[in-house]
Amino acid sequence: MNAHTRPPEDARLAALDSYDVLDTPTELIFDRITRIASNALDVPMASVSLIDGHRQWLKSRQGSLGQQTCRDEAFCHVTIQQHEPLVVEDAAADPRFKDNPLVLGAPHIRFYAGVPLCTRDGHNLGALCVIDTKPRRIDARQIALLKDLTEMVMSEFEARKLARTDGLTGVLTRRGFRDEAERALALSARHSHPLSCIVLDLDHFKAVNDTHGHAIGDRVLVEAVKACRERLRTSDILGRIGGEEFAIVLPHTDEADAVGLADQMRAALRQRLIVLPTETISVSASFGIASRKGADIDLDELLRRADLALYAAKDAGRNTCVAWKPPPGAAGGMRRVLKAGQIVFNSGRSVVDCTVRALGDDAARIDVASTAGIPHKFKLAIAGDGFSRGCTITGRQNLSFEVAFV
């Protein structure tokens, strides 16, 4: 497939979005693949990278690689523009990369070999790559190994799309939860009955894993699910959406009842003890709650609101429940998208790539690689849609902006 027959960028981003893997926690299966790649080729760095509208994000990484980089600087950005492996034996001598910040500075890339992560429909999501800080060559046998490992990554991605039950806890997977939750939300909107969402995250879970090991961490997750399930109805929808993060959709439940239920689960979890040979440990969780309240809202916006409330619960000292409240001047509902956009300002002379993650009639949510230099007011452009609107920033969270159109 040559450059003239490659699927357009909006279709590629739609394919990437369908796998629902961006910004998910690290997972052992992908870390094993990158370790194999690093060890087999005797290189210090390896990664599974994904390219969205403005950045390269690493699902798995070995060595001194950052979690994400600007898309334009990423070697894998070049890799996804072809369907054969990209091999750079000496980046300092390659006109395409010799002035790249990742070559001139950390992680000081000199050798790179990447194989596109290609879907069955021909969309390149990112790449499996190996990296060295010194020039080197790669032979056909090593390239074949990288291709095999790339197929393993894509097979795992495909399996995740089909899987509906989490193997450890027995609750719905992230994908299975989304399917069930979207159906419940549609019924709630159609019949005008209330619906609420709870997002909970175990407090200081990393410390449990670091102190007692992953086997004990797994026991904690299983016990946490049991504590919650004992208080849920069969119609409630429980899913594992992150490493130690769970979401619950409660049909026919208003905010007050959802907060009450969340507090019951919080108390039950706090009383649940994990008995070890040398000690007994207990864990707690923080809960964020959001409700539909009759408004036209999609699942991602409902989860986002519950997640914001969860962060507020963490900030309040953890082991507590917080319900989402709209900030002053908040814009209306937005639908989930994944689109390549541009922030345009300074009379069109300054352009910053971004990824549009949610879009509504009067607002949008966008992600950027860096907030430096971005003004309070700018123009948001989505070339694939012929879209261009002036906007004002109404909220910030890390590298994410909420904007209102003017």
Question: Nearest-CA neighbor of 165 among 176, 152, 155, 151?
Answer: 176
Query: Hey, what are 388's tokens?
Result: 């261009």
Q: Which parts of 252-406 are beta strand (E)?
A: 273-275, 280-282, 285-291, 321-323, 335-345, 350-359, 363-367, 377-382, 387-397, 400-405
Reported as a single tens digit per residue, the pLDDT across 337-358 is 899 999 999 999 999 999 999 8
Strand arrangement, sheet containing 285-291: 237-240, 245-251, 195-202, 285-291, 321-323
Whether the predicted pLDDT of 236 surpasses 70: yes
Q: For residue 330, what pLDDT is reported?
A: 54
Q: To which CATH superfamily is domain 335-405 assigned?
A: predicted glycosyltransferase like domains (2.40.10.220)
Between 282 and 87, the higher pLDDT residue: 87
DSSP H helices in 120-213:
140-162, 174-191, 205-212
Range in 18-27, 148-157, 207-216, 348-357 with the lowest mean pLDDT? 18-27
Whether the predicted pLDDT of 332 surpasses 60: no
Whole-angstrom distance, CA of residue 203 vs CA of residue 200: 9
Positions of CATH 3.30.70.270 in the chain: 174-323
Cα Rg for the chain, rounded, in angstroms?
A: 23
- The mean pLDDT value for 358-364 works out to 89
- The mean pLDDT value for 238-251 works out to 95
Q: To which CATH superfamily is domain 174-323 assigned?
A: Reverse transcriptase/Diguanylate cyclase domain (3.30.70.270)
Whether the predicted pLDDT of 102 surpasses 80: yes
Contact present, 127 and 117 (Cβ < 8 Å): yes
Query: Hey, what are 344's tokens?
Result: 């345009």
Q: For residue 328, what pLDDT is reported?
A: 59
Q: Is CATH 3.30.450.40 the classification given to domain 9-162?
A: yes
Q: Which residues contact 114 (CB under 8 A, 6 or more apart)?
A: 49, 75, 76, 79, 85, 86, 127, 128, 129, 130
Whether the predicted pLDDT of 3 surpasses 70: no
- Map tokens 């969270």 to a residue: 397
Whether the predicted pLDDT of 296 surpasses 80: no
Q: Which residues contact 27 (CB under 8 A, 6 or more apart)?
A: 59, 60
Positions of CATH 2.40.10.220 in the chain: 335-405
Whether the predicted pLDDT of 297 surpasses 90: no
Whole-angstrom distance, CA of residue 77 vs CA of residue 379: 25
- The mean pLDDT value for 277-282 works out to 90
Range in 155-169, 196-210, 256-270 with the lowest mean pLDDT? 155-169
Reported as a single tens digit per residue, the pLDDT across 391-402 is 999 888 889 999
Percent of the chain with pLDDT over 90: 79
